[in-house]
Amino acid sequence: MSRAVKRAFKYRFYPTPEQAAELARTFGCVRLVYNMALAARTEAWTLRQERVNYHATSAMLTAWKKTEELAFLNEVSSVPLQQALRHLQVAYTNFFAKRAEYPIFKSKKRSRRSAEHTTSAFRWRDGRLTLAKMDAPLDIVWSRPLPDGAAPSMVTVSQDAAGRWFVSLLCDDRIGSAPATGVVGIDADLGSLLALSTGEKVTNPKHERRDRAALAHAQRNMAKKEKGSANRAKARLKVARVHARITDRRRDHLHKLTTRLVRENQTIVIEDLTVRNMVKNHSLARAISDAAWRQFRTMLEYKAGWRGRNLVVVDRWFPSSKLCSTCGALAERMPLTVRTWTCRCGTIHDRDVNAARNILAEGLSVIACGGGIRPQRTDVRTGRSSAKQEPPGATQGIPVL
């Protein structure tokens, strides 16, 4: 049995100087149009209490292109500019629905450099991709094949802080969703990245710590360069490349780990961690950020949805570490320094494995009886839950096959 899903396949590519210049102009125009539309909508509401929608900003864009000052907007493809207005509309929709903060202006230095192309702005022929306003196809490194017979419905071109170029192809794909036999509870930890209810502990690679010396060296060199100089720009690229190497390794490890967990288990139970509050602890913030628990949960959520798995999120206040998984006795105190403890029933517990077993038991009881579960996070782009819709009568927040 398979499930039809939309998947984005990301590849690195190497543009010619002409293509790089065209894409750089497109990125700048996308940022300018987004900021001008945001300023216009903000001004309309502040001065006249008037809400400006996407269609009004699209008409504004047409008028802007006819002016002498903004005539250069006609030199790039119009589709990425329209997509920028659609993204702004989504940002406002999420703001009014209280799912996000008020939209902010895009910065030339800090914002992501990207442009989104729909089918009218690119040509896909014989496995070669050519964007609008370009004569030659992109030189893409096909690190993995696209699904058989797949054709992209949307293409996003981006450049990261390290200067690398990427293209993301959104395609229809069919993913096998045969039921698995396993159930697992997962407890997040800093010593070992994860502890599973099976007794397995996943080693924490500590990617940031491995490259900490190289990162510090690159940052010291950048700090010595004069601001605004070409040498500082080169030093900044070296810092960005170290960050990119750390990020790539972390993402690769999390992808492999989450894919294995979703393939092997039909029900996965995790704890609802408030990472945003946890990183306020300055003693642990660096290690927590390096562990990337939020990214781990995000990957689990969409991969579980792809394969029809049950992802249960236990309430953050559930005392998983202090509860004996054998007799159910609750310890009075359990400081972080305690890694093993002995219950009054005589069972010797590994703190993290015991917590994972309690999380699994709580998740299974939630499925059976209800209660004690956190709702799935909402996708800020669509406004819908990341979990599947439950049939009538299903327990709230539990994805059901």
Active-site pick, 22, 116, 189, 271: 271
Adjacent-strand bridge partners of 330: 323
- In a 10 Å sphere around its CB, with 0-12 CB exposed, 13-18 middle and 19+ buried, how is residue 257 labelled? middle
The closest of 336, 323, 331 to 365, measured between CA atoms, is 323
**Catalytic residue status for 126:** no
Radius of gyration, CA atoms only, the chain: 25
Q: Furthest-apart CA pair in the chain: how many Å?
A: 82
Catalytic choice (22, 208, 352, 362) = 352
Position 90, amino acid: V
Q: Annotated catalytic residue: which of 187, 208, 301, 362?
A: 187
Residue 226 carries which side chain, given as an amino acid letter? E
Q: 62: helix, coil or strand?
A: helix
Reported in sequence order, the residue ranges of 315-364 that DSSP labels E, i.e. its strands, are 340-342, 348-350
Cα of 59 vs its chain's centroid, Å: 32
- Conformation bin of residue 158: beta by default, left when phi > 0, alpha when psi is -120 to 50: beta
* Interatomic CA distance for residues 13 and 8, integer angstroms: 15
- Both ends of the chain: CA-CA distance in Å? 13
Three-state SS at 274: coil
H or E stretch covering 240: helix 230-264
Nearest to residue 103, comparing CAs of 160, 34, 161, 50? 34
Phi, psi of 104 (to 5 degrees): -120, 165
Q: How far apart are CA 210 and CA 249, in angstroms?
A: 11
Identify the CA nearest to 310 among candidates 358, 344, 265.
Answer: 265
In a 13 Å sphere around the CA of 4, the CA atoms on its Cβ side amount to 2
Is residue 199 within 8 Å of 227, Cβ to Cβ? Answer: no
With contact defined as beta carbons under 8 Å apart, do 363 and 267 qualify?
yes
Q: Is 189 an annotated catalytic residue? A: no
352 is catalytic: yes
Active site residues: 187, 271, 352
